[in-house]
């Protein structure tokens, strides 16, 4: 048997080694100053940094500095970060990020994350961190108010729109009493432009074998209510079980908002769950010009909206809002013996009871702090600016020789392409055009396929994107298109 003195000696040795994980005040100050200097340098240089850097190593240099038993000086660690992480690829912090749906990157949100990590509040249970849970639930209620949901609506701050969607669809499944035996006949309705995370969430929620009807869209790429009503009637006549209608408030491809009031009424008539994917478009309800476009969102049973899109928060914060408080809890609540001490605190709903997560980061602080320090009015103005910038870019593109912009932007995505003078192989020309833009790096655009055509997109949502950014983008498009035309003529 090991003697107690031997154990005590070993504990003393191990404790001394482990204590290096608790840096002294002077050590903390030195490291924090180094990191903050790096961050401030990044932000100061951001306006001149490229939005995209194509680098053949793609961060592979990190592998040349493997994890070691010995510590690395902070300056060396930051040098690795700058060269191999913060330089190659897409720079989402740049105002020139006009591809996909840009994420945010507010500085005050980063400070909120820092404070949340330092205090390490466990924000899963009200008993464990009552202030943190109150803050997150307050933010949920504020979002519900923005879109016209009732005061007693509930929700969850998730890691993004995909997990938020999973929470919503699992709740819808149980509310509609869709059991395993029913799944092959339980029909879901959405458009072809619905986000792929919906299909993913259906599969993960055990609903992958549900028939999914892609309802036709109109000329503006909006789901057609008449076609939805007809599809539901046909499925009912065939003995199937319609149960879920999914609308989109801001499609990724073109930024379209489906006709929410009409779709909600059809869902109500047939007692189907009505879900609105507003991950991209939901927070435009804050802007005067956006609120009218989202009319009808208040009629949904569940809504997903991403603060890391429309509120410019760094990646890692999506939100789901659900009217049926009891059903959300019934779907996600579980209890274990070791958690019996927490049962006495019930004044606020606990996030761990309303989502798949038990261990949960205190995400709310990254949103609460910038809202408090900036005020809501600044966000409202920024969102209104993005809507107006999209109209500006659309009108300019339609005046530029050779460019075609077929859809008036409803939110902040502008769809377009270039029609070369030798009007053959248009898709290939536009593939070369976007590659030229990306190699230039000053702005980053993305592409998509719409009605079988290769199309380019300007997606305007970064809080750092302003008129000068759009003017630069349009100038580059003109120049690169002309260069490609000249190259083809040689």
pLDDT grade for 29, boundaries at 50, 70 and 90? very high
* 247, pLDDT greater than 60: yes
Length of the chain: 490
When pLDDT is cut at 50, 70 and 90, the band that residue 320 belongs to is very high
Q: Quick one: pLDDT at residue 160?
A: 95
- pLDDT tens figures, 410-445: 999 999 999 998 877 999 999 999 999 999 999 999
The answer, yes or no, to whether residue 405 has pLDDT greater than 70, is: yes
Give yes or no for residue 156 having a pLDDT over 90: yes
> Could you report the per-residue pLDDT of 451-485, keeping only the tens digit for each?
999 999 999 999 999 999 999 999 999 999 999 99
Instruction: Describe the chain by its helix, strand, coil percentages, rounded to 5.
Output: 50, 15, 35
Token reading at 393: 């870019």
What is the rounded average pLDDT for all residues in the chain? 94
Q: 3-class SS at 367?
A: helix
Three-state DSSP state, 247: strand
CA distance 288 to 298: 16
Would you give the distance in Å from CA 273 to the centre of its chain?
23
What count of other Cβ atoms lies within 10 Å of the Cβ of residue 104?
A: 24
| Least trusted range by pLDDT, from 116-120, 256-260, 341-345 | 341-345
Average pLDDT over residues 358-374: 96
User: Is residue 158 exposed (0-12), middle (13-18) or buried (19+ Cβ within 10 Å)?
Assistant: buried
**pLDDT tens, residue by residue, 55-96:** 888 889 899 899 999 999 999 999 999 999 999 999 999 999
| Best CATH choice for the domain 377-489 from the list 3.40.50.740, 3.90.1150.10, 2.40.37.10, 3.40.1160.10 | 3.90.1150.10
Distance CA 316, CA 146 (A): 21
Chain-centre distance of CA 382, in angstroms?
17
Dump the DSSP string for 447-478.
EEEETTEEEEEEE---TT--HHHHHHHHHHHH
Q: Give residue 4's pLDDT.
A: 77
Selected residue with higher pLDDT from 166 and 61:
166
Residue 344 is predicted with a pLDDT of 58
* Helix (H) or strand (E) run with residue 232 in it: helix 225-237
User: How many C-beta neighbours within 10 Å does residue 431 have?
Assistant: 14
Tokens of 138: 């307050």
CB 407 within 8 A of CB 221: yes
Q: Is the per-residue pLDDT at 313 higher than 90?
A: yes
The pLDDT of residue 279 is: 97
What pLDDT does 377 receive? 98
**Arithmetic mean of pLDDT, 272-283:** 98
Q: Give CA separation, 190 vs 174, 196, 243, in Å.
A: 19, 11, 12
Q: Does residue 336 surpass a pLDDT of 70? A: no
Confidence check: pLDDT of 266 > 80: yes
Three-state DSSP class for 273?
strand
Segment 204-231, tens digit of pLDDT? 999 999 999 999 999 999 999 999 999 9
pLDDT for the residue numbered 337:
58
Question: When comparing pLDDT for 172 and 424, which is higher?
Answer: 172
- Asked if pLDDT for residue 2 goes beyond 60, the answer is no
Burial class (CB in 10 A: 0-12, 13-18, 19+), 20: exposed
Q: Is the pLDDT of residue 370 over 60?
A: yes
Q: What's residue 446's pLDDT?
A: 95
Burial letters 227-245, b for 16+ CB under 10 A, else e: bbbebbeebeeeebbbbbb
φ, ψ dihedrals at 249, nearest 5°: -110, 80
Closest CA to 371 of 23, 111, 20: 111
- pLDDT at residue 185 greater than cutoff 90: yes
Instruction: Domain 112-375: give its CATH architecture.
Output: 3-Layer(aba) Sandwich (3.40)
pLDDT of 343 > 90? The answer is no
CB 246 within 8 A of CB 266: no
Q: Backbone phi, then psi, for 127, in 5-degree steps? A: -60, -40
Q: What is the predicted pLDDT for the residue at 390?
A: 98
> In the chain, where are the structural domains located?
112-375, 377-489
- The three-class DSSP label of residue 187 is strand
């Amino acid at each position: 048997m090991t003697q107690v003195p031997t154990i005590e000696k070993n504990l003393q040795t191990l404790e001394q080694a482990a204590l290096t994980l608790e840096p002294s005040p002077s050590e903390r100050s030195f490291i924090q100053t180094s990191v903050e200097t790096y961050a401030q340098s990044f932000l100061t240089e951001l306006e001149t940094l490229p939005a995209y850097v194509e680098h053949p190593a793609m961060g592979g240099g990190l592998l040349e500095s493997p994890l070691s038993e010995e510590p690395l000086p902070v300056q060396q660690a930051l040098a690795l970060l700058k060269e191999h992480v913060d330089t190659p690829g897409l720079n989402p912090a740049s105002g020139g990020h006009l591809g996909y749906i840009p994420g945010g990157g507010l500085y005050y949100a980063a400070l909120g994350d820092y404070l949340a990590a330092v205090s390490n509040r466990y924000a899963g249970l009200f008993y464990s961190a009552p202030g943190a849970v109150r803050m997150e639930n307050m933010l949920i209620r504020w979002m519900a108010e923005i879109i016209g949901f009732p005061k007693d609506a509930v929700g969850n701050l998730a890691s993004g729109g995909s997990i938020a969607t999973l929470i919503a669809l699992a709740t819808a499944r149980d509310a509609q009493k869709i059991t395993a035996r029913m799944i092959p006949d339980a029909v879901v309705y959405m458009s072809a432009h619905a986000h792929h995370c919906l299909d993913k969430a259906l599969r993960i929620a055990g609903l992958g074998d549900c028939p999914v009807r892609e309802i036709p869209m109109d000329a503006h790429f909006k789901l057609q209510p008449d076609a939805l009503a007809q599809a539901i009637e046909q499925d009912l006549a065939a003995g199937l079980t319609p149960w879920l209608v999914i609308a989109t408030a801001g499609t990724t491809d073109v930024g379209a908002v489906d006709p929410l009031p009409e779709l909600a009424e059809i869902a109500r008539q047939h007692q189907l769950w009505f879900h609105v994917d507003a991950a991209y478009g939901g927070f435009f309800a804050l802007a005067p010009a956006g609120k009218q476009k989202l009319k009808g969102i208040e009629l949904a049973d569940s809504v997903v909206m991403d603060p890391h899109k429309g509120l410019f928060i760094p990646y890692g914060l999506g939100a789901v809002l659900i009217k049926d408080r009891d059903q959300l809890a019934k779907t996600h609540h579980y209890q274990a013996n070791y958690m019996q001490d927490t049962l006495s605190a019930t004044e606020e709903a606990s996030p761990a009871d309303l989502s798949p997560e038990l261990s949960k980061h205190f995400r709310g602080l990254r949103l609460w702090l910038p809202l408090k320090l900036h005020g809501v009015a600044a966000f409202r103005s920024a969102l209104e600016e993005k809507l107006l910038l999209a109209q500006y870019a659309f009108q300019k593109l339609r005046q530029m020789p050779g460019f075609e912009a077929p859809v008036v932007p409803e939110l902040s995505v502008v769809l377009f392409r270039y029609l070369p003078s030798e009007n053959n192989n248009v898709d290939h020309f536009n593939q070369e055009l976007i590659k030229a833009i990306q190699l230039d790096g000053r702005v980053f655009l993305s592409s998509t396929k719409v009605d079988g055509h290769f199309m380019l997109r300007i997606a305007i949502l970064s809080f750092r994107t302003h008129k000068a950014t759009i003017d630069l983008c349009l100038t580059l498009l003109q120049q690169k298109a002309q260069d490609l035309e000249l190259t083809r003529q040689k």
